[in-house]
Chain A
Amino acid sequence: MAATTFTVALATPRRSLSRTFSLYAKEAKYELINKTRIPIYAISTVVFPLMFYVLFGIVLGHDNPVNRGETATYVLATMGCFGVMAVALFGFGVSLAMERGQGWLQVKRASPMPISAYFLAKLFAAVVFSTVIMLLLLTVGILFGGVHLLFATAAKLVGILVAGSIPFSAMGLAIGYFAKPNSAPAVVNLVYLPMSFCSGLWIPLFLLPHGLQVLATFLPPFHLAQLALNTVGLAPNPTPSWGHVEALVAFTLICLGVAAWGYRRDEGKTYG
């Protein structure tokens, strides 16, 4: 047997640098195209925050002409945070859980695609969707809610909230590696809706019971919302921004750790 067979070892051709770049670009492009063509995703992530913003920030704020613009600006920060979270959790977490559970990720893993291209593409799509949402909210706020912000302040607000995609994408990554495809949307909703409420994204924290205000300091959306409110000068009890940044970084690292554990578990596992 040994005499009749011979195993061939030949060098595997390397991908050139320009091809590597084009690979990452295409992965990102098609991830974005895919998301924009899923109506339920595009509508729920863009339309819901917009609807809530119009309701809470503009219609309800209308009764109070004195600080109408202030209400609209406050809710712009908190609803923006809510919108960014949804994009990252659904766009990253749910789509990963589905593609993983339904075997599509296996097909990609069997190809020479670097897994980093897959993750970066999902992050890229989350950043683009978040930017679109923020610009829409800002436009509506300026046109109909009496929001007055310096260009630099508005840019900083959008920048901070879009950067908030990173911690929540990390959270989505962790959820995506543990949730099953059918239960992933429910898991995300169970985490994200209560967390948003308890972080004061729906009703300002100072109107909530003291216990919830304490609880909020342990929740990442609270910290992102505080950063956004600091930027527009509307945080009720301004706290130094670095503390919130630290909290978000720590949260991101914890999520990445959990995701890495899930990733390793998944790579070792097989489906039959």
Chain B
Amino acid sequence: MSTAISLRQVQNRDLPGASIAELPRSAPAQQPVSVARARNLKKSYGNVVALENLNLDIHAGELLALLGPNGAGKTTLVRMLLGVARPDSGNLSVFGVDPYQGQLRGRLGAMLQVGRVPETLKVREHIDLFSSYYPNPLPLQETFEIAGLTEIKDRPYGELSGGQKQRVLFGIAICGNPDLLFLDEPTVGLDVEARRLMWSQIRSLIGRGKTVLLTTHYLNEADALADRILVLNQGTIIAEGTPAEIKARAMGKQIRCTSRLTLEEVRQIQGVLSVKADRNVFELQVNAAEPVVRELLQRDSWLADLEVTNAGLEEAFLALTKNHNTESKEN
């Protein structure tokens, strides 16, 4: 229960209203503090299963990417965390309470996929209105600056380009100075330049100590932004790890074996991206299996139960790639 103690200390040190999500990122690094937690979430629409026994923790101050193809359940999950949809079963808490009760919304911000936004209102009018919904919003100028809206604040929404429109939605998400932000596919349909700009804006949020959940179906986007990636496919999380681990698993191989080597010795082998050990059973993520296997056998003549498999993410990433391709054709 040392976590609870350290948390209490942290809270005492700060102002009563200050949130854990605004702490320096280094503070909770060792023992992650969960700001949102889901256990065994289930949701189906008729016969279609959207989420199946989903577990998730969002840690304070991190940027967590939820990577998955269209229809994987990303939006459903975001909507539940926001408290605008309800799971069929399972436990869900955000800042310790059930988000569906609605009292949390002042601390959350959301950039959702939306078909149409009132077009005659000007950018600053949209931001002014949404700022008024929140108890402690950012000053308007600050929102304009963070979201890159200063130049276009007097233009009607309907006259903006796709990238500018996304920035307005981003501004709407951050104007309330929320502790936890949900960005649901923030760069979908944007060209390369607009996407880069959005990325730098998202990164600046992390600099401000916000906790962010980002959904995307671009692996490179999750890689560029996230501290941690969850891969969601057909309503289930099929992989979790740092961007490097996920990339390795997406492209590389997995080696399992029983060995007398220590964890540290295995880790030092060239080509090993990550390694997990359970007693003497090792699980290695590698780019190419052959050189690592050769090295393992050389170092440990007792090595047994050797097993090389594909990383196991092909299905999800095949779907990702497919979606990606269709989309580039459309654009």
Q: Which residues of A contact B (CB under 8 A)?
A: 3-16, 19, 22-23, 26-27, 30, 33-34, 37-38, 98-99, 101-104, 106-107, 109-113, 267-268, 270, 272
Q: Which residues of B contact A107 (CB under 8 A)?
A: 110, 112, 114, 117, 169, 172
- Could you tell me the distance in whole angstroms from the C-beta of A8 to the nearest C-beta in chain B? 5
Q: Are A270 and B79 in contact (CB under 8 A)?
A: yes
Q: A7-B95, A9-B95, A102-B116 are in contact. Are A111 and B134 (CB under 8 A)?
A: yes
Number of A-B contacts (CB under 8 A): 140
Q: Are A8 and B7 in contact (CB under 8 A)?
A: yes
Q: Are A5 and B120 in contact (CB under 8 A)?
A: no
Q: Are B176 and A30 in contact (CB under 8 A)?
A: no
Q: Are A111 and B130 in contact (CB under 8 A)?
A: yes
Q: Which residues of B contact A16 (CB under 8 A)?
A: 135
- Could you tell me the distance in whole angstroms from the C-beta of B51 to the nearest C-beta in chain A? 11
Considering the chains assembled together, what is the distance between the CA atoms of A4 and B37 in angstroms? 13
Q: A3-B3, A5-B57, A13-B17 are in contact. Are A270 and B112 (CB under 8 A)?
A: no
A-binding segment of B80-88, B230-238, B253-261, B279-287: B80-88
Considering the chains assembled together, what is the distance between the CA atoms of A270 and B106 in angstroms? 22
Closest B residue, CB atoms, query A35: B120
Q: Which residues of A contact B36 (CB under 8 A)?
A: 7
A-binding segment of B27-35, B146-154, B199-207: B27-35
Q: How many residues of B contact A (CB 8 A)?
A: 60
Q: A5-B32, A13-B17 are in contact. Are A110 and B106 (CB under 8 A)?
A: no
Given B34, B75, B121, B169, which contacts A30 in the complex, CB threshold below 8 Å?
A: B121
- Could you tell me the distance in whole angstroms from the C-beta of A41 to the nearest C-beta in chain B? 10
Q: Which residues of A contact B169 (CB under 8 A)?
A: 107
Q: Which residues of A contact B121 (CB under 8 A)?
A: 30, 33-34, 37
Q: Are B17 and A5 in contact (CB under 8 A)?
A: no
Q: Are B71 and A272 in contact (CB under 8 A)?
A: yes
Q: Per-residue CB proximity of B86-123 to A under 8 Å, as 1/0?
A: 10000001011100000111111010111111101100
Q: Which residues of A contact B31 (CB under 8 A)?
A: 4, 6
Q: Are B85 and A270 in contact (CB under 8 A)?
A: yes
Given A6, A11, A30, A268, which contacts B125 in the complex, CB threshold below 8 Å?
A: A30
Closest B residue, CB atoms, query A268: B86
Q: Which residues of B contact A9 (CB under 8 A)?
A: 95-97
Considering the chains assembled together, what is the distance between the CA atoms of A3 and B34 in angstroms? 11
Which of A16, A107, A110 has the most C-beta atoms of chain B within 10 angstroms of its own C-beta? Answer: A110
Q: A34-B121, A270-B85, A272-B71 are in contact. Are A15 and B115 (CB under 8 A)?
A: no
Given B32, B50, B117, B135, which contacts A4 in the complex, CB threshold below 8 Å?
A: B32
A–B complex contacts, Cβ < 8 Å, 26 sampled:
A4-B3, A5-B33, A5-B34, A5-B37, A6-B4, A7-B93, A7-B95, A8-B7, A8-B20, A8-B60, A10-B20, A12-B104, A102-B115, A103-B112, A103-B115, A104-B114, A104-B116, A106-B114, A110-B105, A111-B105, A111-B130, A111-B134, A112-B135, A112-B176, A270-B79, A272-B71
